[in-house]
A and B are shown apart, each in its own frame.
Chain A
Amino acid sequence: MKILVCITKTPDTTAPVRFSADNKEYNPAGVAYILNPYDEWYSLVCALELTEKHGGAVTVINVGPADNETLIRKALAIGAADAIRIDANPSSALFVAKQIAGYAKDKGYDAIFCGKETIDYNGAEVGPMIAELLDLPFLSFANHLELDGRKAKVSRDIEGGTEVVEVELPFVLSAAKDLAEQRIPNMMGIMKAKQKPLQVIPPAPFEDKAVIAVYETPPAKSSVRLIDPENMDELVRLLHEEAKII
Chain B
Amino acid sequence: MAVLVYVEHHNGAFKKTAFEAVTYGRKTADSLGVPCVALVLGKADGAGELGRYGASRVLQVQDPALENFDSQVYTAAIAQAVQAAGAKVIVLAHTSNGKALLGRLAAKLDAGSVSGATALPTANNGFRVRKNVFSGKAIAEYELKSEYKVISIAGNSIRPDASGSPVAVESLAANLPAPKIRTLELKRIEGEIPLPEAEVVVSAGRGMKGPENWGIVEDLAKALGATTACSRPVADSGWRPHHEHVGQTGIAIRPNLYIAIGISGAIQHLAGVNNSKVIVVINKDPDAPFFKAADYGVVGDLFEVLPRLTEAVKKMKGS
Q: Complex Cα distance A130/B106, Å?
A: 11
Instruction: Enumerate chain A residues within 8 angstroms of B312, measured Cβ to Cβ.
Output: 232-233, 235-236
Q: On chain A, which size bracket covers the interface?
A: 35 or more
Could you say which residues of chain B place their CB within 8 Å of the CB of A212? 140-143
**Segment of B19-27, B30-38, B162-170, B287-295 engaged in the interface with chain A:** B287-295
Q: Which residues on the B side are within 8 Å of A171 (C-beta)?
A: 180
| Pair A229/B278 contact, Cβ less than 8 Å | no
Known contacts A14-B267, A167-B182, A210-B142; A227/B115 CB under 8 A? no
Closest residue on chain A to residue B147 by CB atoms: A209
Partner of A138, one of B72, B138, B248: B72
Whether A159 contacts B104 in the complex (CB less than 8 A), given A212-B140, A239-B296, comes out as no
Could you tell me the distance between the alpha carbons of A171 and B71 in the complex, rounded to whole angstroms? 12
**Of A45-53, A116-124, A191-199, which stretch is located at the interface?**
A116-124
Residues of B within 8 A of A94 (CB): 106-107, 110-113
Q: Considering the chains assembled together, what is the distance between the CA atoms of A159 and B253 in angstroms?
A: 12
Asked if A163 contacts B297 (CB within 8 A), the reply is no
Establish whether residues B305 and A161, one from each chain, have CB atoms under 8 Å apart when the complex forms.
Answer: no
* Given known A-B contacts A120-B133, A128-B107, A218-B139, A246 and B224 have beta carbons under 8 A apart: yes
- Given contact pairs A94-B106, A163-B183, A239-B296, A210 touches B96 in the complex (Cβ within 8 A): no
Q: Closest residue of chain A to B116, judged by CB?
A: A122
A210 with B143: in contact, given A119-B248, A232-B312 (CB under 8 Å)?
Answer: yes
**Cβ B188 vs Cβ A13 within 8 A:** no
Q: Are B107 and A133 in contact (CB under 8 A)?
A: yes
Residues of chain B lying within 8 A (CB to CB) of residue A211: 142-143, 145
Contacts of B248 in A (CB 8 A): 13, 37, 119
CB under 8 Å from chain B, chain A span 131-178: 131-133, 135-141, 143, 153, 156-168, 171, 177-178
Q: Give Cα A121–Cα B311 distance, bound, in whole angstroms.
A: 41
Docked CA distance A136–B111 (Å) = 19
Whether A121 lies near B133 (C-beta < 8 A) is yes
Count of interface residues, chain B, beta-carbon cutoff 8 Å: 98
Q: Which of A173-223 contact B (CB under 8 A)?
A: 177-178, 208-218, 221
Minimum CB–CB distance from B85 to chain A (whole Å) comes to: 20
Contact A13:B268 (CB < 8 A) given known A37-B249, A165-B184, A235-B296? yes
Structural contact, B200 and A177, CB atoms closer than 8 A: no
A157, A216, A239 pick with most chain B CB within 10 angstroms: A239
- Docked-complex contact B104 and A210, CB < 8 angstroms: no
Q: What chain B residues lie within 8 Å of A81 (beta carbons)?
A: none
Could you tell me the distance between the alpha carbons of A18 and B286 in the complex, rounded to whole angstroms?
Answer: 29
Given contacts A128-B100, A129-B107, contact A236 B144 (CB under 8 A): no
A224 within 8 A of B: yes
**Stretch of B47-55, B56-64, B191-199, B209-217 contacting A (4+ beta carbons < 8 Å):** B191-199
Please pick, from B136, B187, B257, B297, the residue contacting A239 in the complex, using a CB distance under 8 A.
B257
Contacts of A127 in B (CB 8 A): 103
Number of cross-chain contacts by CB at 8 Å: 271
Is A225 an interface residue when CB atoms closer than 8 A count as contact? yes
Question: Are B115 and A236 within 8 A (Cβ)?
Answer: no
A133 to chain B, nearest CB (A): 5
Minimum C-beta distance from A17 to chain B (A): 4
Contacts of B183 in A (CB 8 A): 163-165
A29 close to B (CB within 8 Å): no
**CB-defined contacts of B141 to chain A, threshold 8 Å:** 212-216
Query: At the interface, yes or no: B159 with Cβ under 8 Å from chain A?
Result: no
Is A109 located at the chain interface by the 8 A CB criterion? no
Known: A209-B112, A211-B143, A246-B200. A224 touches B134 (CB 8 A): no
A69 at the binding interface (Cβ < 8 Å): no
Indicate whether B252 reaches chain A with its CB closer than 8 angstroms: yes
CA A125 – CA B313 in complex, angstroms? Answer: 41
Can you sample 18 A-B contacts with CB below 8 Å? A92-B112, A94-B113, A122-B116, A124-B99, A129-B104, A129-B107, A137-B72, A158-B96, A158-B97, A159-B197, A209-B106, A209-B111, A210-B145, A216-B140, A217-B137, A229-B298, A235-B296, A245-B200
In the A-B complex, list the 4 residue pairs whose CB atoms are closest, starting with the nearest: A128-B103, A229-B300, A209-B112, A210-B112
